[in-house]
Every structure is written in C-alpha cells, then in structure tokens.
Amino acid sequence: MNKADCFHLGYIAKLHGYKGEVSLFLDVTNPEDYASLDAFFIDINDQLTPFFVEHFKLKNKGFAAVKLEGIDSESDARKLLRKSVYLPEQVLPELEGTNFYDHEVIGFKIIDLRKGEIGTLAQVIDFKSNPLLQIDGPNKEEILIPLLKDTVQEVDRDNRTMKITSPEGLIELYLG
C-alpha cells in the first residue's frame, strides 16, 4: 500500500497508560465515523505498515484510546509517537452532491459565483467552530473562506472544480 492510495486519518499523539495503548488524534470532520476501525496503516520510515486494532475507544476532541496488536509495552508504543496514520481511500463511501472529503478536493479550482475563478483549494481547515477553505489566489495570496452551510454550491469531481458563494465583500478584501 502506498500513500497515493490512502488518506491521512490522523497521528499517534501520545501514550495512553503504560500497557502499550496510544492516543490517536483523528484529524477528520466526524471522528465517530471511524469508531469501528479494525486496522489502519502507520507511516514508519516512509513505509506504510499495517496494524490491527485490539481495542478502540473514542474520547473527546477527536482523540481515541487505541490498543494495537503486538504493541504491549510503553516502550513499544513510544516508537509510534508522532507517526501519521492512514486508511485506504477505497474504505470511504463515495459522496455525492456538495458533500466531500477534505482530502479529495485539494487542488480543485475554486469558482465564486459572483467573482469567477479565484484560485486553487490548498486545504480545508477543520476548526470545529469555523471551518475554512484555504485557497491559493491568482498571485499565490492566501484566501480564507468560511465553510458555512450554503457556501459550497457544486462539487464537480470530473472537472476538479468547486463552485462557491462567498460572503458578500469577502473576496474583495483579498483581491481588491
């Protein structure tokens, strides 16, 4: 399995106890969607290594306490700290309409329905209270658009474009 066929799920944030459990930060919009994970890949020295889950318990703020098969001591678990965790893209159900996975729309051309093409989506910043679309503008300037309920009007996966309606006057603040 290589990274191009996977999406970044999160990272091993810290130790959880002393019997090999770790605290996994799920860097996703809905951590509860992953509560029944039975396996995932951890990037160890640029190699995706499969690990099987013995125990998985969601905590708060996107964290989960995880016990992995074969990781039975604090010493074993310490070797996984700050390592990135991945899942194969094919485990994700295909989304339709204006619903999207953050990783799938990176690089999409962003078209504001009032202003036209404004740039390329660099990333989706998943702040709980105010998620944002981070767009690289025409002159490489950063444009931040709040991801409100009606912001995204269309996601065209075939043509890699996303049509949005930004808040009135916001684009002008960035592009003049």
Does the domain at 102-175 match CATH 1.10.287.1080? Answer given as no
The tens digit of pLDDT for each residue in 108-143 reads: 999 999 999 999 999 999 887 889 999 999 988 999
pLDDT of residue 38: 93
Which element (helix H / strand E) includes 175? helix 170-175
CATH of domain 3-91: 2.40.30.60
Q: Residue 154: is its pLDDT beyond 90? A: yes
Residue 175 has pLDDT above 90, yes or no: no
Judge contact between 137 and 172, C-beta under 8 A: no
Q: What is the pLDDT of residues 22-70, one digit of tens each?
A: 999 998 878 888 888 899 999 999 999 999 999 999 998 889 999 999 9
Q: What is the mean pLDDT of residues 82-104?
A: 89
Judged against a pLDDT cut of 80, whether residue 171 lies above it is answered with: yes
Predicted TM-score (pTM) above 0.85: no
Exposure of 111 by Cβ count < 10 A (0-12 exposed, 13-18 middle, 19+ buried)?
middle
Domain boundaries, the chain: 3-91, 102-175
What pLDDT does residue 4 have? 85
What SS3 state is found at 111? Answer: strand
